[in-house]
Structure 1
Amino acid sequence: MSFDLALLLAPLAAGLLVLATHVPLGIEVLRRGIIFIDLAIAQVAGLGVIAAMMLDWDSPLAVQAAAAGAAVAGACLLNWTERRWPQVQEALIGLLFVTAAAAGILLLANNPHGGEHLQDLLAGQILWVGWPRLLPVAALYALILLLWFAGRERLGRIGFYLLFALTVTASVQLVGVLLVFASLIAPAVGASGLARRRLPAAYAIGAIAYGAGLLLSAILDLPAGAAVVCTLVGLSFATLAATARRTAH
């Protein structure tokens, strides 16, 4: 099947933008042991998008505000639960995810296009991302990266949760919940066996996987989001296995 490679440039740029923030945050999430926080916050942000749609808020700014407000509320809730019940924080994160997912299903139960909306939220529509949509996201991510690398020691727990919420809010509307989770966790896991250069290695894993996944989806006419998720997980597992083998020898 013939296709124009130029059509993949904007989706690839969207993926690289997501990786720019998700790779360092993913390494921190792995260190803290709160693996499913991005799934929970992404699902809560998605619930905000669904609520905005149900209220007929057509403005992209209004939808973004609803998603960000929901994500920040979820982040504040998790910050509170971590202080109060740290021993079950991971379980509470999982419960927040399933509650937000169930609430989204309930809100869309009587919507004739509810199934389509839920699929778009989960798998995303990365192939249809255009350049104009990437500009505000790039500006937001630049600010987030500046705050993270220049002052993460001073952010504290609540600062981390809020920064994470804003990051995921933008990402879930670009690539969907599944790719948000895979982009955060898979590169961090793949590079976890490296004592040095973990961050560059995680970036490389993510970038190669996004490029390969988008190319495979175009060649084989497969859903792009699912293809990238599979390549991210496959490459991360292969890197982790190769690192473990080299360390054993």
Structure 2
Amino acid sequence: MNPGTYLGTVDLTIVAPAFLAGILVLITHVPLGAQVLKRGIVFIDLAIAQIAALGVIVAGMTNLDPQGWLLQVAAGTAALLGAFLLTWTEKRWPEVQEAQIGVLFILAATGGLLLVAHNPHGGEHLQDLLAGQILWVRYEQLLIPAIGTAAIVAMLLFFKERLRRLGFYLVFALAVTASVQLVGVYLVFASLIVPSLGVRNYGGQKRLPLAYLIGIGGYGAGLLLSTIFDLPSGALIVWCLALLAILVYASGPRKELAPN
């Protein structure tokens, strides 16, 4: 069948809240991603996101309401504990911090596998946390993330680049907590890192607006294409983000290589 015949079936009542969820994620993740690249701790987002996902799994074992605030508290608590742990390891062994972040990620990931090993729906739940179910987000699910986003934006504007190690990790943990449940671990990582990579050679005033455009374009194109071609939304958004970032990077200024 001609893909064009699907265009009439695109349901904006489904796409619109999913796109809004993506915007909420991008509002905080784009500036935080720039800080992650600047600090050279690229995989912290994967680690914190996976720890937040582990908190969701643990909370889910107690039959909490999947949309309730107690589940958000459980995920946030897990992410904050991870942030405190990473702060401590960076103070104690700063020369191997990236390796420690990787170890923490793999421990959280395998911990989740162990916890759902005897759950008949465990594999499906893990898949949802990793790849996300952004296309099925509803407006009522966005209230708590919207409040959290507003609070994080206020903190980022107030402190700007004065956030020290612990403050940055804590703000980062709070930002990742809600977004993992909205869009999944893969999209959290892509939203943080991909736009910032695409604009890294641009001047300071252009960098942030262009990064946001990459993010907005990637989410919009990915959601529309996923409904037209009936493909997984999260995976397609990641690819759209990457392709747009490559295009923006290729169209931008070249960084001068240092002489030998």
Give the drift of 1:242. Answer: 2.3
Give 1:68's aligned residue.
Answer: 76
Give 1:116's aligned residue.
Answer: 124
Deviations 1:84-135 (A, max 9, x none): 1111111111111111000000001111111101100001110111111112
Give 1:184's aligned residue.
Answer: 192
1:244 and 1:205 mapped to 2: Cα distance? 17
Q: Which structure 1 segments of 5+ residues have no match?
A: none
1:127 and 1:143 mapped to 2: Cα distance? 25
- Alignment of 1:223 onto 2:232: yes
Tell me the percent identity: 58
1:153 and 1:183 mapped to 2: Cα distance? 20
- The 5-angstrom pairing of residues 17-56 of structure 1 reads 17-56=24-63
Q: What's the C-alpha RMSD, in Å, of the aligned pairs?
A: 1.6
2:150 and 2:98 mapped to 1: Cα distance? 29
Give 1:240's aligned residue.
Answer: 249
Give the drift of 1:152. Answer: 3.4
Maintained 8 Å contact 2:14/2:136: no
* Greater shift in the superposed pair: 47-56 or 9-18: 47-56
1:64 and 1:224 mapped to 2: Cα distance? 23
TM-score by length of 2: 0.91
- Whichever residue aligns with residue 248 of structure 2, its letter is T
Alpha carbons of 1:241 and 1:199: their partners in 2 closer, same or farther (altered >3 Å)?
same
TM-score by length of 1: 0.95
Alpha carbons of 1:28 and 1:153: their partners in 2 closer, same or farther (altered >3 Å)?
closer
Maintained 8 Å contact 2:180/2:188: yes
2:106 and 2:28 mapped to 1: Cα distance? 25
Kindly tell me the number of residue pairs found equivalent between the two proteins. 248
Give 2:3's aligned residue.
Answer: none
Give 1:167's aligned residue.
Answer: 175
Give the drift of 1:62. Answer: 1.7
Give the drift of 1:193. Answer: 1.1
Give the drift of 1:68. Answer: 0.6
1:189 and 1:163 mapped to 2: Cα distance? 21
**SS of match in other structure, 2:164:** helix
